[in-house]
Structure 1
Amino acid sequence: MDTIVLLVAVVAGLVALELLGMRAYRRHRARKQAAFTRENVGAVYDDLQAARARCLAEKRAFALLADAARSAGRPEDGAVLDALAAGERAHLAALEAFRGPLHAESVDPAAYPSLPSSLDDALRIAAGRLDDWSTGACRDAAARARVRGYRDIAKLYRQLQEVEQAAACLCLDMAEGARPAGLFSFCPACGLVVAGRRPAFCTVCTKPGFEFEDVAMPAMPEAAAAMLKPEGVA
């Protein structure tokens, strides 16, 4: 009997501690949300605004590159670039989650120079720009957010780093004619574009692979398909 009473007392104590912990966590979260204002976050707000302006500009740049690729007779590259533009839209959606609480103002796309006449040169410039931002400004913004205690914002920046570095590699592959052939898909949550079959899960945000969206690759023209057929095959 004494053992049962002791067990009941222990369980009741554990439940009480858990309830107290949950209440303390909710109070802490409420205080943190109340303090999440433009005045309090300081440089973190400026970083978020700069990231939004930069994503808007990259989305526009990828759309222009996609049109240029199709005009140059490279529709597959155009489809991949469209997927990269969709990735920038995913980044903007993630950044928008912080806009409301901060009452953030609208931003204009960052100013980028006009594209060079050569598509491959434009792709190399885009790759360099993506790499510079992901290893520079984005990394610094993640560090500032982490120091200020905004782990969710720091995590978002780390995801952006990985996705943009992967995008930079894809741009270089297209510029060098080394883009992987076949299927592509992209993660609708973080914007990661991957070659080949859908992965089991996203390596950046861990979203299940079955939620990935396929990149609509253009059908090969009949004349080109006929040239690829082995001899003697009708």
Structure 2
Amino acid sequence: MDTVVLLVVVVIAFVAAELLGMRAYRRYRARKEAAFTRENVGAVYDDLQQVRARCLAEKRCFGLLADAARAAGRSEDACVVDALAEGERAHLAALEEFREPLHAEKVDAEARPPLSADVNDALREVAERIDTWSTGACCDAAARARVHGYRDIAKLYRRLQEVEQNAACICLDLAEGARPDEQLSRCPSCGLIVAGRRPAFCTTCTKPGFEFEEVLVEQHTEATFSDHRPASHREIDTQGFFVDL
């Protein structure tokens, strides 16, 4: 009998401790969210704005690269580059989660020099720039977020780093003509592109593999810029990008 009573007391104490712990954690999260303001986060806010501007620029750059690949008759490569642009859109969507509570201001895309006329050279330039950012500025931003206690933001930066390094490798492969023979698929959450059989879970964001989207590849065509978007509807902006009118 004494054993049963002791067991009941232990269970009650355990449940009480769990409830108190959950209540304390909720209070902690509430204080953390209340403190998540532009004035309090300091450098973390600046990093978020810079990353947003950078992702906007890369998305636009990938769109330009896809157009250039199609104009060169490399429609298969263009489809892969389009998938890389979708990855940048996924980054921007993830950043929105932190932008809204901060009431962050609108940002413009980072300035980019005009790409090389040769598609392969342009792919190499983009790969080098992406790799430099992912191993440099992105790591620094993740460290600052972690130091300030924003592990969720640091985790997002680490995810961006992995996806961007993957994108840099793909760009280099396309530049060298090393296209994968296997079917490509893209994670809709983080933008990671994988070749072959879809994984059980995304290795970057743990999204279920069955949700991966197939990268549809066009057949080879002798396309030009005007075949996809009339020149009368495009102009070059001051940063050397094509923009829609």
Give TM-score, length-normalised by structure 2: 0.88
Runs of 4 or more above 4 Å deviation = none
Question: One-letter code of the match for 1:19?
Answer: L
Is the counterpart of residue 94 in structure 1 residue 94 in structure 2?
yes
Contact residue 127 and residue 167 of structure 2 kept, 8 A: yes
In structure 1, the residue matched to 2:112 is 112
- 1:141-164 CA distance string (max 9 Å, x none): 000000111000000000100100
In structure 1, the residue matched to 2:161 is 161
- 1:1-234 alignment to 2 at 5 Å? 1-219=1-219
Contact residue 145 and residue 153 of structure 1 kept, 8 A: yes
Percent identical pairs in the alignment equals 75
Q: CA deviation at 1:193?
A: 1.1
Unaligned runs of 5+ in 2: 222-245
SS of equivalent to 2:116 = coil
- 1:197-224 CA distance string (max 9 Å, x none): 2222211111111110001111357xxx
Question: One-letter code of the match for 1:142?
Answer: A
SS of equivalent to 1:98 = helix
SS of equivalent to 1:169 = helix
Q: CA deviation at 1:195?
A: 1.8
Q: CA deviation at 1:182?
A: 3.4
More divergent stretch after superposition (98-107 vs 197-206):
197-206
Contact residue 75 and residue 219 of structure 2 kept, 8 A: no
In 1, Cα distance between equivalents of 2:197 and 2:89: 23
SS of equivalent to 2:177 = coil
Unaligned runs of 5+ in 1: 222-234
SS of equivalent to 2:185 = strand
Question: One-letter code of the match for 1:128?
Answer: E
Contact residue 116 and residue 122 of structure 1 kept, 8 A: yes
In 2, Cα distance between equivalents of 1:118 and 1:182: 26
Question: One-letter code of the match for 1:157?
Answer: Y
Contact residue 68 and residue 119 of structure 1 kept, 8 A: yes
More divergent stretch after superposition (212-221 vs 120-129):
212-221
In structure 1, the residue matched to 2:228 is none
**Cα RMSD (Å):** 1.0
Contact residue 186 and residue 215 of structure 1 kept, 8 A: yes
Corresponding pairs, count: 221
More divergent stretch after superposition (8-17 vs 192-201):
192-201
SS of equivalent to 1:6 = helix
Contact residue 183 and residue 217 of structure 1 kept, 8 A: no
- 1:100-148 CA distance string (max 9 Å, x none): 1111001001010111111111000000010010001000000000011
